[in-house]
Amino acid sequence: MDIQEVENSIHVPLPEDTSTGIGCVGSGFIMADCHLVAYRQHGLNPVGITSKTRANAQAVADRHEIGSVYDTVAELVANPEVQILDVAVPPDLQLPVIKEALAAPNSLKGILAQKPLGCDYAEALEVVQLCERSGVTLGVNQNMRYDHSVRACHHLLKSGTLGEPVLATIDMRAIPHWMPWQERQGWVTTRIMSIHHLDTFRYWLGNPDRIFASVRPDPRTTFAHQDGIGLYTLEYNSGPRASSWDDVWAGPAREGAAAEIGIQWRVEGTEGLAKGTIGWPSYPERTPSTLDYSTIHDGAQWKSPRWDKVWFPDAFIGPMADLLTAVQTGGQHPCNGQDNLWTMALVDAAYTSASQHRAVAPAEIVERAGAG
Q: What is the pLDDT of residues 153-172, one digit of tens each?
A: 999 999 999 999 999 999 99
Q: Give residue 236's pLDDT band: very low, low, confident or very high (50, 70, 90).
A: very high
List Cα–Cα distances, 67 to 49, 62, 240, 309, in angstroms.
9, 8, 50, 29
Task: For residues 108 and 133, state if they share a domain.
Answer: yes
Task: For residues 88 and 228, state if they share a domain.
Answer: no
The overall average pLDDT reported for the chain is 96
Task: For residues 22 and 163, state if they share a domain.
Answer: no
> Considering the domain boundaries, does residue 194 fall inside one?
yes
CA distance 214 to 216: 7
Report the number of distinct structural domains present in the chain.
2
CA distance 261 to 52: 34
Task: For residues 153 and 233, state if they share a domain.
Answer: yes
Give me the CATH number covering residue 182.
3.30.360.10
CA distance 102 to 134: 7
Task: For residues 119 and 40, state if they share a domain.
Answer: yes
Q: Give residue 4's pLDDT band: very low, low, confident or very high (50, 70, 90).
A: confident
Contact 82, 20 (CB under 8 A): no
> Considering the domain boundaries, does residue 67 fall inside one?
yes
pLDDT above 50 (res 330): yes
CA distance 349 to 152: 28
Contact 39, 22 (CB under 8 A): yes
> Considering the domain boundaries, does residue 372 fall inside one?
no
CA distance 1 to 243: 27
> Considering the domain boundaries, does residue 370 fall inside one?
no
- Give 194-236 as a 3 state SS string: HHHHHHHHHHHHCCCCEEEEEEECCCCCCCCCCCCEEEEEEEC
- What mean pLDDT comes out for the span 340-349? 98
pLDDT above 60 (res 329): yes
Task: For residues 156 and 295, state if they share a domain.
Answer: yes
Task: For residues 137 and 156, state if they share a domain.
Answer: no
Task: For residues 154 and 247, state if they share a domain.
Answer: yes
Domain that holds residue 31: 12-143+319-334
> Considering the domain boundaries, does residue 289 fall inside one?
yes
pLDDT above 60 (res 276): yes
> Considering the domain boundaries, does residue 339 fall inside one?
no
pLDDT above 70 (res 371): no
Q: Above pLDDT 70, what percent of the chain?
A: 99
Give me the CATH number covering residue 76.
3.40.50.720
> Considering the domain boundaries, does residue 115 fall inside one?
yes
Task: For residues 136 and 149, state if they share a domain.
Answer: no
Q: Give residue 372's pLDDT band: very low, low, confident or very high (50, 70, 90).
A: very low
> Considering the domain boundaries, does residue 169 fall inside one?
yes
Query: What tens digit of pLDDT does each residue of 38-82 get?
Result: 999 999 999 999 999 999 999 999 999 999 999 999 999 999 999
Contact 307, 314 (CB under 8 A): no
CA distance 207 to 201: 8
- What mean pLDDT comes out for the span 335-350? 98
Task: For residues 229 and 305, state if they share a domain.
Answer: yes
Beta bridge partners of 229: 216, 247
Q: Which of 187, 193, 200 is nearest to 151 (CA)?
A: 200
Query: What one-letter code names the amino acid at 34?
Result: C
Task: For residues 94 and 133, state if they share a domain.
Answer: yes
CA distance 86 to 23: 6
Task: For residues 136 and 65, state if they share a domain.
Answer: yes
Give the pLDDT score at 95.
98
- What mean pLDDT comes out for the span 251-266? 96
